[in-house]
Structure 1
Amino acid sequence: MPSNASPAPHTDSPSPIHAVVAEDFAAVNQTILDQLASRVPLVETIGQYIIESGGKRLRPLLVLLAARSLGYDGSRHVTLATLIEFMHTSTLLHDDVVDESHMRRGKATANDAWGNAPSVLVGDFLYSRSFQMMVEVGSMRIMEVLSAATCTIAEGEVQQLTNVGNPDTDEAAYFETIQGKTAMLFEAASHSGAIVAEANPEQEAALQYYGRYLGLAFQLIDDLLDYQGDAAAMGKNVGDDLAEGKPTLPLIHAMAKGTPEQAKLIRQAIRKGGLEHLDEVLAIVTDTGALDYTRARAEEMAAKALEQLAALPPSRYRDSMAELARLAVDRQA
């Protein structure tokens, strides 16, 4: 590691959920720094900037909790958690370029600070580094799961892009999109954690689906908060999805349940993008019960995630996964 390496990457204040794997998390943070090392200074600069920008590190956390919940006592889960974080970080860099975003977690995005080309290329570096670490883990099963996940995630991102400005996107298409672009990496994290711990088939399937349902709940609340959240807490502006013309579930449900006039206004807002009709749209999604409906669907997904944990032996790690499912729907950011 270079002598000018930064301190351990920043995360939000540790929670009891993180505390049960505190030593593992410290090892992940150190591995992140080690793996960011590059002979090209800009790679390290941008990589450290985006990784140190905060966040709860939920995906690597899932790897650690899943492996430990099954009694794993090796060290490969640390490498696995790190490469999952690199995969996630690379998608953030690419997403911000595609969405032309200027702020994430209350800070300027990398593309805003350095430009689109460096952001895309550093994202490519992080993806490539994650595959190097995948080889180091040395499991063909894990490579199969994660390589398939990368394809699904890319398809989900493309599908979301094709949905932008399309008010005819229905609920089924919406769920297919968020399964790919968000839930897939949650699923891959918990699933690969089960594999590294040599789970039995029932436990492996349970942890796979736990991650899937948790990821869906997480994205549903994200989309809800875009119309109900606090901008300071979220680190982004309320209405960003509307500004980008994204037909998320609050809008889809509001169009289905609202008056023809309300549906027409939302359709126009999706096609046009921007925030010209934000106040009217906020009123409609509230009046039609779209926010309550979105929260109910998130709670449904979290409940399904909790059901999967019955396949695991009692432990503080399982308790933390249960708490994580509950927090996914109770959060404000």
Structure 2
Amino acid sequence: MSVDQVPDQMRASVLTGVKELAVELVPTPPVADDEVLVEVAAVGVCGSDTHYFRHGRIGDFVVTGPLILGHELSGRIVAVGADVPDARIGERVAVEPQKNCRRCRECRAGHYNLCPNMEFFATPPIDGAFAQYCVIRTEFAHALPDSISDEAAALLEPLSVAITTMRKAGVTPGSSILIAGAGPIGIICAQTARAFGAAEIIVTDLVPERRERALSFGATKVIDPAAVDIAAAGLDVHAFVDASGSARAVFDGIRAVRPAGTAVLVGLGNPEMTLPIEHIQNLEITVTGIFRYTDTWPAAIHLVASGQVDLDALVTGRFDLEHAAEALEADLDPASLKAVVYPR
């Protein structure tokens, strides 16, 4: 359809209060000259979505008005802005759900994920994708091969987190890596570490079902951190990734890193933690975090299209807009990995 044929309103699941969602008719977002209108096909539920749903805030990001959640998405381009070729209409795409300013110091340095003026889907006050349509700048609508399903395409977003993590961790063929947490990000990190060539992929989790599941998604070994002292187990890994947010997991995981190794903090936990500073200093451990991603979708598409990462197998629940609240609570089941919402 052309821009002038876009419906004025669309259905959306709107967060109206803590644990309060309503399916409403809301204005369809206007399409700027450099943007495309995407008819949303599938939206993965992220931990940040559940946090806003349950608590109304994440740190300094506070929900102060109605908000549409969801930032892991795929869809089809149905209209384009004046500066975008009409040939894009009809393309299946995975959406990189952010809009940077292009002008600040970080953007000009190529670190657009750190843009202080970033508008990121489903981060107050920017609406997300639990809706029939969304708009995104054309360069952040990544064309997909037919071999990638709508569900897998939506999950290219958390895969992008894992790709950024592996790049930061310096994972190369033959590396050893310890991953704390076998939730969605930990499992995707395990698969991605395998795709990057890691020879030893150790995953820790307190839940037996999650440890067992990690073995089918790339882990070469799993450990119960309640039964084994991770810091004293002699793991001696090249890299540690925390996907749990647990202060104890972070402390012990850093202690398991060999000299000149790297620790990457991905999980959301306490804003302040105690770290093993002597170990970090004496062994010259690099400790860093990640914040979203930069230029990862091409790599993510390749990893899925080539069969090196299986995202379809992560989907454990499917919900329509009317049952989005159930999707946001699905993580309470230890057997759940990824819930997907279908706004059509």
Give the TM-score, by structure 2 length: 0.25
More strand by share: 2
Specify which structure has the higher proportion of helix.
1
Give the TM-score normalised by the residue count of structure 1.
Answer: 0.25
